[in-house]
Amino acid sequence: MKRTKASILTLYVTMMLLILPVTGLCAGEQKMPFPTYGTGPIQVLIYSNYFCPPCRATEPLVEPILQELLKRNAITMTLIDVPYHRLTPLYAKYFLYALKVKNDPTHAFHVRNVLIAATADKEMTTEKRIGELFKSKGIRYTVFEAKPVFDRYNDLIKEDKINATPTCVIIRDGKKEQSVGGPDIIVALKRLL
């Protein structure tokens, strides 16, 4: 009897694992936006923070390089928000909300640029204000539970031992290379062109 119940339970769990991805209930499925773009063989992870002055200076310089690498299908790029400022989780959440509506690299960079510019406004500290900003910029968004994405961010931050922003991790042929700071990141990315 116990063996039969165990067999039935195993069969049930196996069937659920096969069915859940089809129904869209899994957090890892496309309905949960994650800022990873491209299918190239080289992984590029960009760790940044909206409130970090070097990050704000670096993003407009690396964006065209990353766009070109994506266009050439040379990289798979992931953008990771590192919560070094008390408002970063709020900004990161709205970034993901915007990706829920449209998740492509051009849109992701546009939303990031809007949020980076918003850091100059000392009043841009609430969900209401960011929602108004998005509406004024024509950025549609959908609210959802972003914790699974934040958990994945945290896993990546720990795995790559990130302790400064901006940081770029490039994984090629099983080897990891880490560059910290705008100038070093630009040099590392240009080597991939």
Q: Cis link prior to 166 (omega < 30° from 0)? A: yes
The tens digit of pLDDT for each residue in 173-184 reads: 999 999 999 999
Domain topology for 32-190: Glutaredoxin (3.40.30)
The full set of domain ranges for the chain reads 1-27, 32-190
pLDDT of residue 27: 41
Query: Average pLDDT over the chain, rounded to whole?
Result: 88
The tens digit of pLDDT for each residue in 43-59 reads: 999 999 999 999 999 99
pLDDT of residue 2: 44
Question: Which residues are CB-neighbours of 86 under 8 A, at least 6 positions away?
Answer: none
Find, among 94, 189, 77, 193, the residue nearest to 150 by Cα. 94
Alpha-carbon distances, residue 47 vs 52, 56, 81 (angstroms): 11, 12, 6
Average pLDDT, integer, range 29-41: 85
The answer to whether 153 touches 81, Cβ cutoff 8 Å, is: yes
What is the dihedral sign for C-alpha 121, 51, 134, 89?
A: negative
pLDDT above 80: residue 69: yes
